[in-house]
Amino acid sequence: MHILPLALLALLLNSCQHAQSIIYNYSTTNLNKTMPAEKVGDHLETARQYNDLADFTHGTQQAQLYSHAMRSYFQINQLDQAMVMFNNIDKKLLSRTRQLNVTIIESRIILSLTQAEQALAALEPYEIKHASTNQQQAVYRIKIKAYGITKNWLKKANIHIALSNLLSNKNTMDNNKKVLWQTLMKLSLRTLKLFHSNITPTVNNGWFTLAYTVRAYKTNPDRFIMAIRNWQSDYPNHYADSSLYKRQLKIDATLPQLPKYIAILLPRLGPYKAASNAIKQGIIAAHFSEETATNLQFFTAKVDSVTRINNIWQRYKQAIMNKADLVIGPLDKISVQVLANAEKLPIPVLALNRLNYQSTQKHNLFQFGLAPEEDAIAAANFAIEKGYERAVILAPYGHWGNRIAEAFRNKWLVHGGIVLNQVWYDRNKNDFSAVIKLLLSLDHSKQRQQNLKLTIGKLIEFKPRRRQDVDFIFFIAHPLKARQLLTQLKFYRAGQLPIIATSHAYNGQENIQQNIDLNGLIINDIPWIFNDLNMYNCTYITLKESSPLRFHQFIRLYALGADAYRLIPNLDRLSRHLDLSFKGATGILSINRTGHLKRKTRWAKFDHGKIRVLLQ
């Protein structure tokens, strides 16, 4: 009985010496070295070994060993023991990577107790953009579960979107996509509307826009189809699967398909040759981007330069004989008028020009073009929305300037606007000082100075002042003259006035050195002018890469051709529902009661030589 305690003491001392030997041997090697028990998957014994080792060390080594023990206890779901290990860890002694690993386990344990807010709070101090992919995925999954518990569907949806960028396994990606969509469907329509964007399409707002589209229009087939078409146009490479939103619909809506045969009636020679060729390239690029089974048939439209007789009616009948389902073209107004005068049009025509006067729609005739008058009318509407009342107009001599100025003036006056002055300039000149003085009534200011001099009998210091009752200047010019006019307007102290021009003032090409002269100018233009909308547009990219030297010269005509092709399956719905619209390369398109396609374009202002979109 006296010997037994001594024997036990000897065994205990020997055991301690053995443990110290193990600690010493382990501490001189990499702390990531696998323990013997860990090699065979015995997590409980592994946790005990790490814990025993930690009890005989200190500092950084101890913190790391406790973290290994914590991980092993967590793997066998001994959460209480895992938290004991966690409480033993001095996290300040760990690297940032190890700190995050420990906190991820801590958050998972807290989340298992449905304490979502505490789990999120534990992760809050960590910026994970520089963390490993595995760590980022782990954090995102914790947050997804936590936001699900707290029913914060907006944050949960955003985390699903962020997680999708880290996934590579198809099944995992599909499941994340499915749960993301279910989460988006729980958001209110108001929230979805706030977070979908029409300015710069991105993957993130693509999800919100799609969800908003389904929620807003799921019981209205025509609106839904047009909205989905617009979404596909804005996000051509978005990875949302159509099966996601089709399951949500209460209607059996099928997206319209392009017809089997389309006839294109365009001139090959004459004054419309260059425009015709650009439109044709736009049609072909859109055709290949859509990847449809549609067949394109090209027919040459001719107009005799002397007699003005054309072959458009013969070509139209030939297209019908060749089984065409629809015609794109013609391009000139005379040919459009021939079709408008026809007794009957058996197949639809999407003409690429517009007749000025038409009180009712002719069956199967749709008129689509880039009429300069549209820009002028849009400028008047923009000024009305801004609350301006008094305008002055600066336009070039000639038919083109007259058309645009008259369109602006008529629209402006109808809405109660006042035109204080209208002045014409010669496009063959470079000095517009006399014209600008007349426009701004600077000569009246000079006359007042002369009268004052006669009255007081002495020379006085004088700076001419422009008239102060003008709200804005509307001017019409091509790029070179626009730069010259704007520079001279600023010289004569008109730079602080809003100056509005049509899209003709900009050639569509970024050139800071040249366009610095356009600073302050406000214009409206087609979406394709703004690069932020076109990063993923296959048709735009194809055209730009195929003719980079001429692309900006013909960009608006390329866009017209692309829209003409993409409009075809939507013409019927647009014509039956005048409140529907379609997002095209030339603007937001709709059809009025006379069969004319109306365009709503974007407004922008030049700043430091760059065109920048104005939020409206």
Residue 191 lies in a domain: no
Residue 1 lies in a domain: no
Phi/psi of residue 104, nearest 5 degrees: -60, -45
Q: Which amino acid makes up residue 223?
A: R
Task: List Cα–Cα distances, 326 to 49, 116, 530, 543, in angstroms.
Answer: 80, 60, 31, 24
Say if residue 506 is in the same domain as residue 383: yes
Question: What global pTM score does this model have?
Answer: 0.72
Residue 153 lies in a domain: no
Q: Indicate whether 103 pLDDT > 50.
A: yes
**Cα-based angle 231, 233, 235 (whole degrees, multiple of 5):** 65
Label residue 523 by pLDDT band (50, 70, 90).
very high
DSSP string, 287-332: HHHHT---EEEEEE--B-TTT--B-HHHHHHHHHHTT-SEEE---S
Question: How many domains are contained in the chain?
Answer: 2
271-274 long-range contacts, CB within 8 A, separation 24+ = 272/331, 272/332, 274/554
- Determine the distance from the C-alpha atom of residue 414 to the mean position of all C-alpha atoms in its chain, rounded to a whole number: 34
Say if residue 316 is in the same domain as residue 427: no
Residue 274 lies in a domain: yes
Label residue 114 by pLDDT band (50, 70, 90).
confident
pLDDT digits (tens, 9 = 90+) for 8-31: 334 333 434 333 333 434 443 445
Say if residue 463 is in the same domain as residue 363: no
- Alpha carbons 597 and 587: distance in angstroms, whole number: 11
pLDDT digits (tens, 9 = 90+) for 272-317: 899 999 999 999 999 988 777 889 999 998 877 677 778 899 999 9
Closest CA to 408 of 394, 426, 427, 425: 394
Collapsing DSSP states into helix, strand and coil, what is residue 423? strand
Q: Is 192 left (phi over 0), alpha (psi -120 to 50) or beta?
A: alpha
Phi/psi of residue 421, nearest 5 degrees: -160, 150
Q: Indicate whether 350 pLDDT > 50.
A: yes
Residue 97 lies in a domain: no
pLDDT digits (tens, 9 = 90+) for 532-550: 666 667 888 889 888 888 8
Say if residue 515 is in the same domain as residue 543: no
Q: What is the mean pLDDT of residues 47-58?
A: 86
pLDDT of residue 297: 93
Residue 18 lies in a domain: no
pLDDT of residue 493: 76
Taking the CA atoms of 464, 468, 470 and 472 in sequence, report the sign of the dihedral they define.
positive
Say if residue 386 is in the same domain as residue 517: yes
Tokens 């055709």 belong to residue:
287
Residue 486's CATH number: 3.40.50.2300
Q: Kindly state the tokens that stand for 108.
A: 């998972």
Q: Indicate whether 558 pLDDT > 60.
A: yes
Tokens 């809405």 belong to residue:
415
**Cα-based angle 168, 171, 172 (whole degrees, multiple of 5):** 60
pLDDT of residue 375: 93
Closest CA to 510 of 536, 486, 530: 530
pLDDT of residue 215: 82
Say if residue 595 is in the same domain as residue 605: no
Say if residue 426 is in the same domain as residue 392: yes
Task: List Cα–Cα distances, 2 to 8, 10, 11, 14, in angstroms.
Answer: 11, 13, 15, 20
Task: List Cα–Cα distances, 378 to 367, 400, 550, in angstroms.
Answer: 18, 17, 27
Residue 409 lies in a domain: yes
Task: List Cα–Cα distances, 443 to 316, 397, 424, 466, in angstroms.
Answer: 59, 22, 17, 9
pLDDT of residue 401: 94
Domain limits for position 378: 373-526+601-613
Q: Which amino acid makes up residue 415?
A: H
Say if residue 495 is in the same domain as residue 589: no
Beta strands in 472-615 (DSSP E): 472-475, 499-501, 521-525, 582-584, 587-591, 597-600, 602-607, 610-613
Say if residue 308 is in the same domain as residue 377: no
Residue 280 lies in a domain: yes
Residues contacting residue 329 through CB under 8 Å, at least 6 positions apart: 263, 264, 265, 266, 301, 335, 349, 350, 351, 352
The rounded percent of the chain whose pLDDT value lies above 70 is 83
- Reduce the secondary structure of 106-117 to three states and give it as a string: HHHHHHHCCCHH
Q: Contact 262/297 with Cβ under 8 angstroms?
A: yes
Say if residue 381 is in the same domain as residue 340: no
Say if residue 473 is in the same domain as residue 609: yes
Inter-helix orientation angle 59-75/96-112, to 10°: 40
Tokens 């076109």 belong to residue:
534
Say if residue 431 is in the same domain as residue 299: no
Q: What is the mean pLDDT of residues 160-166?
A: 91
